[in-house]
Chains A and B, each alone.
Chain A
Amino acid sequence: MEFQIDKVAELARLNLKPEEKTRLGKDLGAILDYAQKLNTLDTANVAPTSHVLNLENVFRADEVKTSNAAEKALEHAPHRDGDFFKVPKIVQRD
């Protein structure tokens, strides 16, 4: 199966070199072909599994706790400006 690598790489924010595209595209196509075997199974009346435990209704109480994580986080941030993280210009593209 043909893997639409450009579209998926765009969604995943991955810049791929041409040779990577060829190689990864081929690998992924083969994996998806392999996955076709699942279509031999009738799952019309099977419920999907999102969680293996039958856990439900897990809550925490509405209580405030302070954390000093931000200080540590900012200390190691790639680009910090005072108490903020800084990112490059957000350009809207035509």
Chain B
Amino acid sequence: MQYEPVIGLEVHVQLKTKSKLFCACSTEFGAGGNKHTCPVCLGWPGSLPVVNEAALKLAIRAGLALSCQVAERLQFDRKNYFYPDLPKAYQISQYAMPVNGKGELLIETKGSDGTVVEKKIGITRAHLEEDAGKLLHEGIPDGSLVDYNRGGIPLLEIVSEPDIRSPQEAYEYLTALKAVLQCIEVSDCDMEKGSLRCDANVSVRPTGQEKFGTKAEIKNLNSFKMVAKAIQYEIDRQTELVAGGEKVVQETRLWNDAKGVTFSMRSKEEAHDYRYFPEPDLVPFTLSKETVAAIRKTLPELPRARAKRFIRDLGLTEYDACVLVQEKRTAEFFEACVAAGAGARAASKWILNELLAILNEKNIAIEDCLVKPDALAGLIRLVEGQTINNTTAKAVLLDMAATGKAAEAIVKEKSLAQVADAGLIERAVDKALAANPASVADFKAGKQKALGALVGAVMKETQDKANPKTVNEILLKKLSS
């Protein structure tokens, strides 16, 4: 029997506010223990919450970008449970009347025939809630330490429908979600800093069956790759169980990345009964059409739309367009580069293949790069005008990234302009042929590969400045004569 996985993701993103959701404490990451706390986020008796307007607006913004139905009326609820990271013994969340109802996100996924197809992943809801504090266990044999700096930071919990059918789709969903949320500037979505967290609900069922199987919830997923790996592991584990006639237990499992397995938390605490009820300390909220429309107006072009425009208007490949729009600033850099006169395909190629590699190596963001979009356009112009060849251009780009100088200046300074003088190249070809008789013999014996070695020798002779096309032509002429 064939089995198919059914996957839903619960993503928590930290909303980019200066202060916490219900108090004026800073949301800055990395402060000393309990430094960013006050009577409210410490849950001190007698303290009361007041909603941060910016957090609600960011939540609505995210909802609109995810095509959610934004509520006309919303309220906060208390979710009651005991845990030391929860100072009030309840979390202020949204249960009955969340800010964002049903929505959807489009992802790119490979069809069965290998072609890229668009798929719609439903979003059940996206609601506001406060974060819990942080427990520190490491190196403490007899207990845990509690730090409430994170407690009360605004989170948006985005719950997907169980529409995801493979680890790859889960990965694509997270990538697309991150691209949207970063693009609209509601969250940094930085998993390392905990500003994006993901839990996965996974079940399997015989292909064709409508009823869902029993699901397991997987936690402790610290990167998108881990999410995909853990889901694959869980699919395999559950399929084996079900195929062997055993039952999947509904439980929470933790991913152990070092061992590459999920394992049960084995928590037999009483079945959760969160006793949700409307938070009496906060009043309800009514969102007028005007308020929502005003927020909608400020939304930038979303990544999907931008990618489609790149394909349609600029002739980019599906792949290049999708990668470019994943980071808003990369897409902006690309557009500025095109505006400065570079060809779209060339600009895309130079950004994706060369510039991003340099940035990765230097570990800096594109906006901090010394190469500005018009400077890259200048470099591309030199290549297209055959002033320099690709190899030289790559070296020039490295130089540009290190010094911030213009491509023209570097080429001039280092005399890197391409040699198109046929006489000069002919002399270099002659020298190369004389110096590499073995390669000449090989080529004449039919080994096409030998030509490459000879081209290389010519380029070396001209310090990489020769126009490769001219080199090729002259070489072939001489070899065949």
Contact = CB atoms under 8 A, between A and B. Distances in A.
Interface stretch (B47-55, B311-319, B362-370): B47-55
The range of chain A's interface size is 35 or more
A64 B37 CA distance: 11
Given A63-B19, A87-B84, A70 B24 contact: no
Contact of B34 (A62, A65, A84, A90): A84
Nearest to A58: B283
A83 B19 contact: no
B51 A58 contact: yes
B341 interface: no
A88 B35 CA distance: 22
Interface in A79-94: 81-90, 92-94
Contact of B17 (A10, A62, A74, A93): A62
Nearest to B28: A64
A65 B32 CA distance: 16
Interface residues of B, number: 51
Contacts of B269: 93
Contacts of B39: 67, 69
B449 interface: no
A84 B145 contact: yes
B280 A94 contact: no
B197 to A, nearest CB: 20
Interface stretch (A17-25, A37-45, A48-56): A48-56
Interface in B13-48: 17-19, 24-26, 32-35, 37-39, 42, 44
A92 B266 contact: yes
Contacts of A50: 75, 278, 280, 284
Given A56-B283, A60-B24, A94-B268, A83 B33 contact: yes
Interface of B is mostly: loop
A59 B53 contact: yes
Residue with the highest number of chain B CB atoms closer than 10 Å, among A58, A84, A88: A84
A47 B82 CA distance: 31
B352 interface: no
Contacts of A66: 25-26
Interface of A is mostly: loop
A86 B283 contact: no
Contacts, number: 128
Nearest to B286: A56
Nearest to B136: A84
Contact of B19 (A10, A62, A69, A87): A62
B280 A51 contact: yes
Contact of A86 (B32, B144, B275): B144
Contacts of B50: 58-60
Given A11-B270, A67-B39, A86-B143, A60 B32 contact: no
Given A62-B52, A89-B143, A73 B24 contact: no
B285 A57 contact: yes
B415 interface: no
Given A81-B145, A87-B144, A92-B266, A70 B34 contact: yes
A85 B146 contact: yes
B147 A84 contact: yes
Nearest to B291: A57
Nearest to A48: B278
B84 A69 contact: no
Contact of A93 (B135, B268, B280): B268
B283 A57 contact: yes
B267 interface: yes
Given A88-B143, A92-B267, 6 more contacts: A56-B284, A57-B286, A69-B38, A81-B145, A90-B84, A90-B144
Interface of B: 17-19, 24-26, 32-35, 37-39, 42, 44, 50-56, 75, 82, 84, 135-137, 140, 142-148, 265-270, 273, 275, 278, 280, 282-286
